[in-house]
Chains A and B, each alone.
Chain A
Amino acid sequence: MTTIEQSQGFKQLAVEDFRISEEPFYLPISDEVELFESAYEQKIPVLLKGPTGVGKTRFIEYMSWKLHKNLQDSESGVPLITVACHEDLTASDLVGRYLLEGEETRWVDGPITRATKVGAICYLDEVVEARKDTTVLIHPLTDYRRLLPVEKRGELLEAADGFILVMSYNPGYQSALKDLKHSTRQRFIAIEFGYPDRDQETEIISKESGVDLSIASELAKLAEKVRNLKEHGLGEGVSTRLLVYAGKLIHQGISPRRACEVAVVWALTDDLEVQRSIEEVVTSIFEE
């Protein structure tokens, strides 16, 4: 990956003008909305913990929308800037860098810098994937100082009022090597995202995919059963996201058994025996 591509990639994501104008559908699982609002109020950084596909991203979008609405200020509001973290993410990628323009150079703010300036929610997705020396960068930003050092320009940037740093973190599949440093971790409050219970999940599936409640509830039931098999080589239980996929396929007229096969069984594992037993659960729940 070249630097230029990288910066282009971030350009698409790091638009501080990006607002979520329509209410995203988010079904609160417990008190996470309240917690987040309070944290935002008190400028406490938030860590969203939980397996893949349980709505962390959706939650943050929803919160962005909701906080924006609370402000009653459609102009500035609370934008959401998301950064997908990966191994090669450097400090420059986050803070900003100089670009060549003809014989001149031009400074371009990185996403975190933009967020700091406009007071946005800066969402670092899968933060453990980033290198440790990169994560350290956020330390001054996430304690009482709320400062972002922009090394290359020799500046210190104070975070605007609405700024909050949010990270997501999936404890399930990280290896011991890739854990967060304690000093990083202890700068955040952690909101745990678990799987929704059957009724909640039914509602989510139905709303998201358009299938009726009865099918949605069968899908939720399937999820519950499959999650019982977690330690059988299924790194994680089936995510709500996959169930929504299955629901969408069903909504399109694919038979439920087939939809579950492609969206759930095969997506989860390559172990033939586990596949087979999940398939049997599917065929027990759904009629031919």
Chain B
Amino acid sequence: MSSVEALHDQYSQELKGFGASLPDDLLQGLQGLSEIYDQSQLEQWVKIGVNLAHHSLRSWEATSEFFRVSPEMAKKLTFSELKQWSEIGTYLATDASLMSVAFIKGSPSALDSLNFADLDIWAKQGQRLCRGNWKSIALAALYFQQSASLLNVLSLELVDRLVEIIDQLTERSYELANSVLESSYDIFSNLAEEDREPFLLFAKSVTRASWADTRLYFERGPKLIENISPNERTIFLDLASKVTMDVGRQGFPLFVDAAQSLEEIPLEDQKALLLFATNIAPNSAIAAMEYLKSTPFVRSRLTTEQMERWSEVGVELLRMGNAEGAEAYFRLESSRAEEMLAALSARVELPSVSSMLRMYAKALSGEQVAVLSSEDLVDRNIGWISEAAPTTEGTTIYLPPFVNTFEEQGSNFQVYKVFTTHQTGRLEFGSFNYAFNLDGQHTESSAELRESDQLQNKLSSDAENTDEDSHAQTVSTEIQRYFNLFDDRLLISGIFTIVEDTRVGSYVDREYGGIRKWLQRLQNWEVDRRPEVRAMGLRQAFVENLLRASLGRPDTIRWPQDRYTTMQKGIRALQMVNLEHATVQDSAEVASALYDIAVLIPNVPLESADVEWEPPDEEMIQIAPDMPGGGEGGEAPMPASGDELDFENPEQPEFRGEFKPELVQLMMKLKDQQQGQTDGTASPLTKEQLMELLQNSVEITINEWAEGDLASSLGMFLDNLEKDAGTPAGEPKEQSGESGDERGGGDGGDDEELPVEIDWFYYDEWDFRASDYRPRWCRVGERLGDEGELDYYQDILQKHHGLVMETRRQFELMRPESFRKIKRLEDGHEIDLDEAIQFYVDKKAGVGPLARIYTRRNKIERDVAVAFLLDMSASTDEEIEKQRQKYQEEEEDFQDDPSKYFQWLAQRRARQAIEPPKRIIDLEKESTVLVVEALEAIGDSYGIYGFSGYGRDNVEFHVIKDLEEDFNDRVRKRIDKIDPVRSTRMGPAIRHTIQKLDDHDAKVKILIMVSDGRPQDHGYGRDRTEKEYAVHDTKQALNEAKRKGITPFLITVDKEGHDYLKQMCDDIGYEVVDNIESLPRRLPTLYRHLAAE
């Protein structure tokens, strides 16, 4: 019997008592160790295992693992080390056998990365996670399981950090701790080695600041930093940790934003940005992250140097200790930031110049043109343009949303100007006025001839085909009829565009010498970007060459030497439209002639070595305009039409933009039709006609069009077009009436109840911390107030009959307000010296009929406009009694006399039974009625508005009566419907009212705001409880009013109002109406004082 068997036999029995599998495990271990250990060592080893099994309740499981793993461990450890190892296992088993099992099991692979000496540290890390409950035990076990592999990717020290994080998470959620631990290996093995430590460091900060974000960070972090330059990741993560330590839970979202922004920055540029951010981080960590967040946007506008200057301003704010200001600055939520950006940026944005350009275009063309962003046109989906290029449809000039072509702002503005001038030129010089077969200034029209030829040909071919109805062609517009003359629509359209643009360009050049320089600069800019002609088919090269000549650069023409006469003929013809007084009719004729030339040129590539593509000679550049005559000949014949390339019209130069004469004429016609301006002869366009025009037109770009079914996309296009022109074409009226009757299945748009029409306005908001405006921060939605019952108004009038009469009288008294001197009166206040002398002289001469020597100051019409702004916030719903209670309770505590209290209570109930409790809003309404009555008596113009809303995007502005509006029943009804809605964001409401008053013409302007408390709204301040921000913004808005020459006045029924009112109203009038019920009486009186000042 071998010693192995002996030992096995000796202990199996004892071991079996712990667990049935133990003897087998023992045997397995013994067999593995017998080669390595001597007898006594083996015996000691078995005893260790047995002792372990005895150690605690389930420690036998550890024994089992110990037996099984030992042979492997023995290969790595000395016997005494093995003993130490088992001791570790034992003390872990004291805490939890499961943990011990996991430790023992994980040990061999852990030793791959650890010294034996570290094994203890490692064990302690696991032990730290174990807190005695089963969740913690499972976690600790998981730790030993995972860390074997983790140790391959993280040093023991870093694992220690990880454990710290996990340990912290356990205080919140074991589930989270588990999942973080489980994902760790994947994450860290995928991270670059040098990123692991900073990643962990930041993780630690995140966990400390907002534990719940840890999971997010582990999930998204690696991806987020993936696109950050490997060299800079550490810097970034370090920065993020620092920031998070500084700002707490905000840190992680800032990190995410910043990382996403950095992704958009080329790797090589990230360093400088991160360096800058790191530099400012000590002053404001938030500013640093906001800076990173804004960089892609800022960089899209500014060059590197400009950006430095832009950042410098933010740094200056930091230096002055205005961290909040700097943060807002870098967040781009400050006017200063935007102004700097706009001032530094070379890019010119359309909104900043559009109204000016509109006037410019109007001046040039003498027409009521609008200027809009071409994005609008794209959105309208009438297939006009697929990208943002300048164009016009006859009444509106569409321009790209911004221009970024050159490096200085001034130049880019000039680009806009050239765009506008060219588009305006199409209107001014009549590009859309083509009339069929009208002669030009320099050419005679051949259109009619061509048409009859065409018909002739058709007839003869029809005779052969015996096809009946093929010549029933319908035409909708003059230009369509012209285009119909040509078989190749694409070609004629391309040529006509070039010719007509040449003509318009020529006019612009002649008429507007001042922009000639810029026109040329853009022409050259375009020419430099033209594609290589040599690679084109010959016909396409011909057209491309025409375009180059048209851009004033015939020197860039390239054309086969031996066929130069053809090109020459083309250029000559084109020159015709450069002649003074050329009209669109000339363009059409020249285009026809060019078409005739081009159509004979096969579109084959001609790049063989024996053909020389020559630049033109001097003569060609200076060529005189002439229409092509018959057969000049003498040049090499055109190559045989072989493998023709697809013909494409040359790409339009950007400054000329899209030219769509066919659609424009169509739109004009549709519009005329809508306005009933069709002259008797022309019948309205039918759907068929339109479809035909659109099908043939090459001016439409509908992207999906080619594959999709033509009919339906055409139909859609037509719908959009008609919507744009304002009317459906040729649609009988009854039909729409019919469908209107069947309710329910409709498309929603024509529902009975009209949706409330809301006009949106944007206003800045004052951020007192940053001492700067947040640009376009609030969105105010103006809408008409709902209408209620007329009775309400009448009721109030009756109820307050006496008061109404009284206020009316008082108001009538104040009518004369500003005076004017009236002269030559027989009686008056003052003597007019001039007149007196005259009288004296006349008297002396014996004439002087009457002593009209007095003057008097006389009243003239008042010129006062007032806007009332009513708080419609939810709090105005509060019953007045409750309010009163709030104030009175402290004073009247009924001296602990319950009977008095009950008496009071009963009284109150009785009162309420007679009259429903009044709310603040009711009093606001009643006051409104009184004020209206009074104002009607005095004749001042007035507006009544209510405001409420929720959040900065949705400030509701209800128009009860607009300043310009007359007082009528609808207004009366609206007063009934003044109802409490939501919060009180005063600033934007005031600003909108200011706008209204500002647009109104009056000498004296007054803004009276009636509210029930302090301004407050979602996001109107740093957090829910902060009041400062809202108060400051409101104050600023009131100051803006003063600056505009408006007298603001605040009335509040909030007794607690004194403190913030004092702050808000520095030198602005306000009043706290103590007795709320006196508001209806008080308001008119107040107004009287205000307006009489």
A-side interface residues toward B, CB under 8 Å? 1-3, 88, 90, 92, 97-100, 105, 107, 151-154, 218, 221, 224-226, 228-229, 232, 257, 273-274, 276-278, 280-288
Chain B residue contacts of A98, Cβ below 8 A: 841-842, 844-845, 847
Q: Say whether B514 contacts A274, CB under 8 Å.
A: no
Q: Say whether A88 contacts B823, CB under 8 Å.
A: yes
B361 nearest in chain A by CB position: A277
* Contact digits for B830-854, partner A, Cβ 8 Å, 1 yes 0 no: 0001100110011011011100000
A228 to B367, CA, bound (A): 8
A88 to B820, CA, bound (A): 13
Chain B residue contacts of A2, Cβ below 8 A: 833-834, 837
Whole-angstrom distance from the CB of A194 to the nearest CB of chain B? 15
Quick check: is B513 within 8 A (CB to CB) of the other chain?
yes
Q: Which of B356, B364, B514, B845 contacts A287 (CB 8 A)?
A: B514
Query: What are 17 A-B pairs with beta-carbon distances under 8 A?
Result: A2-B833, A3-B838, A98-B844, A99-B841, A105-B845, A107-B845, A151-B849, A152-B842, A228-B366, A274-B359, A280-B360, A280-B417, A284-B360, A284-B364, A284-B417, A284-B421, A288-B517
Quick check: is B819 within 8 A (CB to CB) of the other chain?
no
Q: Say whether B514 contacts A97, CB under 8 Å.
A: no
Majority-rule SS of A interface residues: helix
A100 to B362, CA, bound (A): 61
Given A283-B514, A284-B512, check contact A273 B844 (CB 8 Å): no
B428 nearest in chain A by CB position: A225
A284 to B517, CA, bound (A): 10
A3 to B417, CA, bound (A): 56
State which size class the interface on B falls in.
20 to 34
Most B CB contacts (10 A, CB to CB) among A90, A98, A218, A284 go to A284
Whole-angstrom distance from the CB of A37 to the nearest CB of chain B? 34
B-side interface residues toward A, CB under 8 Å? 355-357, 359-360, 362-366, 417, 421, 511-517, 823-824, 833-834, 837-838, 841-842, 844-845, 847-849
For the complex of A and B, list the 10 residue pairs with the smallest distance between their C-beta atoms, beginning with the closest: A277-B359, A98-B845, A105-B845, A152-B847, A228-B366, A284-B512, A225-B363, A284-B514, A277-B360, A283-B514
A283 to B837, CA, bound (A): 57
Given A3-B837, A97-B842, check contact A277 B363 (CB 8 Å): yes
Q: Say whether A281 contacts B356, CB under 8 Å.
A: no
A218 to B516, CA, bound (A): 14
A218 nearest in chain B by CB position: B513
Q: Say whether A282 contacts B838, CB under 8 Å.
A: no
A100 to B841, CA, bound (A): 6
Most A CB contacts (10 A, CB to CB) among B357, B366, B824, B845 go to B845
B366 nearest in chain A by CB position: A228
Q: Say whether A273 contacts B364, CB under 8 Å.
A: no
Q: Say whether A228 contacts B842, CB under 8 Å.
A: no
A232 to B421, CA, bound (A): 20
Chain B residue contacts of A232, Cβ below 8 A: 359
A87 nearest in chain B by CB position: B823
A58 to B364, CA, bound (A): 29
Chain B residue contacts of A154, Cβ below 8 A: 847
Given A100-B844, A228-B366, check contact A276 B515 (CB 8 Å): no
Chain A residue contacts of B823, Cβ below 8 A: 88
A273 nearest in chain B by CB position: B356
Majority-rule SS of B interface residues: helix
Given A3-B837, A153-B847, A277-B356, check contact A287 B365 (CB 8 Å): no
Given A281-B364, A287-B513, check contact A229 B359 (CB 8 Å): yes
Given A228-B365, A286-B513, check contact A92 B838 (CB 8 Å): yes
Q: Which of A92, A151, A152, A278 contacts B363 (CB 8 A)?
A: A278
A283 to B512, CA, bound (A): 8
Given A1-B834, A3-B837, A287-B514, check contact A281 B360 (CB 8 Å): yes
Chain B residue contacts of A284, Cβ below 8 A: 360, 364, 417, 421, 512, 514-515
A287 nearest in chain B by CB position: B513
Whole-angstrom distance from the CB of B426 to the nearest CB of chain A? 16
Whole-angstrom distance from the CB of B510 to the nearest CB of chain A? 11
B836 nearest in chain A by CB position: A3
A98 to B824, CA, bound (A): 18
Whole-angstrom distance from the CB of A227 to the nearest CB of chain B? 8
A139 to B1007, CA, bound (A): 50
A256 nearest in chain B by CB position: B514
Q: Say whether A97 contacts B841, CB under 8 Å.
A: yes
Q: Say whether B842 contacts A285, CB under 8 Å.
A: no
Q: Which of A105, A153, A218, A280 contacts B356 (CB 8 A)?
A: A280
Q: Say whether A288 contacts B514, CB under 8 Å.
A: yes
A228 to B363, CA, bound (A): 5
Chain B residue contacts of A88, Cβ below 8 A: 823
A278 nearest in chain B by CB position: B363
Whole-angstrom distance from the CB of A216 to the nearest CB of chain B? 14
Q: Which of B359, B365, B512, B513 contacts A273 (CB 8 A)?
A: B359
- Other than the given A92-B838, A284-B515, 18 more pairs (CB < 8 A) read A2-B833, A3-B838, A88-B823, A98-B842, A98-B847, A105-B841, A151-B849, A218-B513, A226-B363, A273-B355, A277-B357, A277-B363, A281-B363, A282-B514, A283-B514, A284-B417, A284-B421, A288-B517
Chain B residue contacts of A105, Cβ below 8 A: 841, 844-845
Chain B residue contacts of A224, Cβ below 8 A: 366
Chain B residue contacts of A90, Cβ below 8 A: 824
Chain A residue contacts of B355, Cβ below 8 A: 273
A153 to B848, CA, bound (A): 10
Whole-angstrom distance from the CB of A224 to the nearest CB of chain B? 8
Chain B residue contacts of A97, Cβ below 8 A: 838, 841-842
Chain B residue contacts of A153, Cβ below 8 A: 847
Given A3-B838, A229-B362, check contact A285 B848 (CB 8 Å): no
A6 nearest in chain B by CB position: B834
Chain A residue contacts of B844, Cβ below 8 A: 98, 100, 105
A82 to B972, CA, bound (A): 57
Whole-angstrom distance from the CB of A14 to the nearest CB of chain B? 18
A3 nearest in chain B by CB position: B834
Whole-angstrom distance from the CB of A125 to the nearest CB of chain B? 22
B421 nearest in chain A by CB position: A284
Chain B residue contacts of A287, Cβ below 8 A: 513-514, 516-517
Whole-angstrom distance from the CB of A218 to the nearest CB of chain B? 8
Q: Say whether B842 contacts A225, CB under 8 Å.
A: no
Whole-angstrom distance from the CB of A177 to the nearest CB of chain B? 10
Whole-angstrom distance from the CB of B956 to the nearest CB of chain A? 30
Whole-angstrom distance from the CB of B424 to the nearest CB of chain A? 10
Chain B residue contacts of A273, Cβ below 8 A: 355-356, 359
A40 to B433, CA, bound (A): 46
Chain A residue contacts of B842, Cβ below 8 A: 97-98, 152
A183 to B146, CA, bound (A): 109
A1 nearest in chain B by CB position: B834
Chain B residue contacts of A228, Cβ below 8 A: 362-366
Most A CB contacts (10 A, CB to CB) among B356, B513, B514, B849 go to B514
Chain A residue contacts of B514, Cβ below 8 A: 257, 282-288
Whole-angstrom distance from the CB of A151 to the nearest CB of chain B? 7
A99 to B366, CA, bound (A): 56
